Structure 1
């Protein structure tokens, strides 16, 4: 049974807050949160992500970046990362979580591109990859939630 899902990226201002908000909108019965391995603590969502999310009806205005903590990792039933490297960092730091850490795009065998400080095309690509990953996990999690 999956009750708590932690979504992780690097800075916690682009990819993970977006994926987290999209998943939470789809599966309100599950507690979703996000964090960054190298979070820009206290920052809001990237303006480009805010704009693109707003265009798609996803609210990120209240997001504040937080750093990944041992407590978050321990309490999560599932951890979704944006990259293989992030997954490996988490598994190396907290070996007991092996088996509950996956990439958002694990099913596609790809990393979600990091759009931070890049052109809109990078944000569009990341957004499309996140939407695809969210669609996959929505199906998986819908069958696991109580």
Structure 2
């Protein structure tokens, strides 16, 4: 069914790895991974994103940001993005993936999740809560 879940943002160092780790924790029998439309390739998760996530009890293993590819889109059963413009980026890269690409905030009035990169710790805290809430909603749907 939906066993291969791909989470996408821009740099693949803040939002998508956070969502990846949350979904891996909630869905241990699924393949969950992440990538970026403009990835900071090989960078670890942002230090502030990691700090905030760990303060909430989320384990953040070493991460290596990677660029989104047509192949990753093709292999994924579902692709979760943070903003509507990410859907458009995926459609330009892999038009066939459009039908399986959804906002992480799909079940929360199509909520978009803003990029906290280079912002305050409070911004990261706000974004973490949005990601955690929306990952919880997706985990309930994908666990079936």
TM-score by length of 2: 0.95
TM superposition shift of 1:2: 0.8
CA RMSD in angstroms, aligned pairs only: 1.0
Find the residue that maps to 1:106 and give its secondary structure: coil
Q: Distance in 1 between matches of 2:83 and 2:54?
A: 25
Q: Where does residue 140 of structure 2 map in the other structure? A: 139
1:61 is displaced (CA, Å) by 3.6
Per-residue deviation, 1:60: 2.0
- Cα contact 1:39–1:65 (8 A) shared by 2: yes
User: Once superposed, which parts of structure 1, at least 4 consecutive aligned residues long, lie more than 6 Å away?
Assistant: none
SS of 2:128's partner is helix
- Aligned residue number for residue 97 of structure 2: 97
Specify the alignment match of 1:40 in structure 2.
40
| Aligned match of 1:9 | 9
Tell me the equivalent position of 2:118: 117
Which residue of the partner structure matches residue 127 of structure 1?
Answer: 128
Q: Report the count of equivalent residues.
A: 143
Q: Do the aligned partners of 1:113 and 1:125 also contact (CA within 8 Å) in 2?
A: no
Structure 2: runs of 5+ lacking an equivalent: none
Partners of 1:76 and 1:138 in 2: how far apart?
16
Give the corresponding residue for 2:72.
72
Q: Offset of 1:14 from its aligned partner?
A: 0.3
Distance 1:29 1:61 in 2: 18
